[in-house]
Amino acid sequence: MANAVLYVHLETVSNLTVSYGMNADDFLAGIPDMPHHLLLLTPVNSQEMVDPHTGFNVISGVEDVERYLRDTKITPKKWIDYQHTLYLDQITPQEVAEMLYLGHAYNHLTPPFYYKLGNQYVYLDRPDGTQKIYYRNLDQFFVSLDHAIARHIREREVEQRFWRMLRNDTVAPLPDHLWVTLRPFLIDGVLFSFDEIRMHQKDYQIPLYRLRRKLLITDQTWLRGEDDLVGHLTYSRKQHTWRFESPTTERNGEDVDA
């Protein structure tokens, strides 16, 4: 079932996320301002604009940047934003080498936030279909994740009567204290299984799993293993509130309310 899962792994030390099932709209929903300039870490295309000092392709202008970010035909996307074209001339050969390594190995040698660039993000589409994104302000990611959860709920083809009830509703964002509860699971790596979403007394429940092995996606379908159910993220359509229910609290009739 295509794209019916959302996987998130959070690394707070490096301010990065690894995710599957999030798209450009989700990412852009979380950032306060559209970048003005991008330095592309993909192989250089001599037919496009090339910065003569660094040797990377560049995209400048908010409209061109947004067009590039939203274009689903352009894959993979690998880029660093920057504030001013003037400062590209100050990038050292060592910093160019670090960026080349980022684009090639999908990992950093040093924290990839450069004061000369003033970059807020590093975005890397990886060969396995996941995205690795470095955030200067990691809190922005949770806004993107909120957007992705709501989008997956609406895109999910569920029982017809249920869908008619949902389609005109606005899905409320998760409150901050619930993100605090979920944060340890996100750090471990957690999968939201929308293909198992179920309705219960006007609530809908999304199971969350901790994977025991690397996420495997075949034909955009999650290959289940012996994974651990860590709980359900439950949304009340009537009250427009979220709660998290772990297997223990479900047995005891308790939950963490939004």
What integer pLDDT is reported at residue 168 of this predicted model? 59
pLDDT at 255: 58
Write down the residue that tokens 């379908």 correspond to: 221
* pLDDT tens digits, one per residue of 187-223: 999 999 998 888 877 788 999 998 877 676 654 455 5
Start-to-end C-alpha separation, the chain: 30
Structure confidence at residue 22 as a pLDDT band (50, 70, 90): very high
Instruction: Give pLDDT, residue 251.
Output: 52
Q: What are the pLDDT digits (tens) for 27-41?
A: 999 999 999 999 999
Average pLDDT over residues 234-258: 76
CA distance linking residue 202 with residue 187, whole number of Å: 30
Q: Token pair for residue 173?
A: 């964002």
Beta strands in 61-172 (DSSP E): 78-82, 121-125, 131-135
> How many Cβ atoms sit within 10 Å of the Cβ of residue 203?
17
Burial class of 58 by CB neighbour count within 10 A (0 to 12, 13 to 18, 19+): middle
| Overall average pLDDT of the 67-76 stretch | 97
Q: How distant, in Å, are the alpha carbons of 14, 48, 58, 82, 138 from that of 111?
A: 7, 28, 21, 15, 14
- Lowest-confidence region among 64-73, 119-128, 153-162: 153-162
Q: Which residue has the tokens 């660094």?
A: 54
Element (H, E) at 52: none
Residue 154 or 223, more confident: 154
